[in-house]
Chains A and B, each alone.
Chain A
């Protein structure tokens, strides 16, 4: 049986140009124009090159690596917000990222208003969000707080709100970036359960986490990145073993 792929990275490299020469200021830029332009072309930062891996549909896939190794860059590439410098990325299906705490929320709007706004930013039409509003609110367990401006929310409550919207968007591919480190234990458990449900339904889940326990519990395959390249691609246990020796 040939499995369908959800995400394919084919020899992907990402090099960031460094922009500080212009952002350093107009004066510097103007008075050192030829040099500034030359430097702009030359200075760059290589995150990684020649990264190739495949994520199959319905798979739970972990990405681990030290800080700055490029985990979030991979998520960004999958989400399509940045383009690879070389190589090819194929993504099949609707990608929903988990937004970091409060991203896309406005502090002065109520929880309910923020759900609508956030849902639209994540790609749902307004009609669809309104039809899901009740189940989103229920999942968040925020109760009467849903009518309050979210500036008075605790960080745990914000996480609940964000998570509740994201999991109700019916994604094909869910990108999870360290989001579960907030929220209390029961809610974390609830989120993990929901992720398991997603797995059962055949949603592809891609997780970036420092929590090895979580990776071990949820993922079937992982990649380890570091040293500007792909260090490992395969089974979870061996990958984590390798990661620990880094």
Chain B
């Protein structure tokens, strides 16, 4: 029995890893610059925002390029995964209609894929960090992986909801697109969290799971500090969101083959 269970788990791991490997290979198979593209977007965004907010609008934040990059890379993971998830089940319709493989694995593979791209971008963040004459500490080695796990749960949870509900309600795809755009500006990526007027601050923090995460990443890298309140909020949000995603997905998954 135990053996059966472990071989079953092994199978799921194979499944998720193989789907992940497929996405990973496919993404760059026909582009020469490959990996560079995944860092080019946040990088050009950072330069653009620097131009608009530092150069033109003279925002009072030190090391603004570094500040931006630290927020933009995790955001890119989050937003790419959520966007890809709207289509993850639809583009595998013929498989879902015929085989009984674990449907969730399609989404975990998507989120994992963007996660690996995020991890691959860490050297870039470090290079910029050193250019600014800063360095990382032991704290980083422990907390950074924890933050990644938290973000994985948050992103997977939302992906599970978005992908499954989108099958029954295709407008969701557009709503997600618009919402991500709004959410970007409601997350302290371009500005510091302390700039937010006090009366709105708590709403933004509690309703936006990327809010505490971005601040956590940035505090860790720039100031080498960990804000416990944000950490606890973030863990709490991650667990709730993942559970909701898991439940919604499993409630709906019996109907996937019918609507696709």
Contact = CB atoms under 8 A, between A and B. Distances in A.
B171 A25 contact: yes
Interface string B1-25: 0000001001100110011001001
A64 B169 CA distance: 34
A20 B103 CA distance: 23
Given A80-B100, A99-B94, A99-B98, A23 B168 contact: yes
A16 B258 CA distance: 7
A17 B257 CA distance: 12
Interface string A89-104: 0000001010110011
Nearest to A77: B257
A97 B101 CA distance: 11
Nearest to B10: A125
Given A83-B254, A125-B10, A117 B18 contact: yes
Interface in B49-106: 92, 94-101
Interface residues of B, number: 30
A106 B169 CA distance: 27
A83 to B, nearest CB: 5
Given A22-B169, A26-B171, A108-B30, A120 B15 contact: yes
Contacts of A79: 98-100
Chain A interface size, as a band, is 35 or more
A106 B100 contact: no
A80 B189 CA distance: 45
B141 interface: no
A191 interface: no
A83 B254 CA distance: 7
Nearest to B14: A126
Contact of A125 (B14, B22, B170): B14
A99 B95 contact: yes
A121 B101 contact: yes
B33 interface: no
Contact of B26 (A25, A103, A108, A126): A108
Contact of A100 (B7, B98, B170): B98
A185 interface: no
A177 B98 CA distance: 10
Nearest to B28: A108
7 contacts: A22-B168, A23-B168, A76-B98, A81-B98, A82-B254, A109-B25, A123-B101
8 tightest CB-CB pairs across the interface, nearest first? A103-B94, A26-B171, A81-B257, A126-B14, A97-B98, A104-B95, A82-B257, A120-B18
Given A79-B100, A100-B98, 11 more contacts: A22-B169, A23-B259, A81-B96, A99-B94, A99-B99, A108-B30, A109-B25, A121-B95, A121-B99, A123-B99, A125-B11
Interface of B: 7, 10-11, 14-15, 18-19, 22, 25-26, 29-30, 92, 94-101, 168-171, 254, 256-259
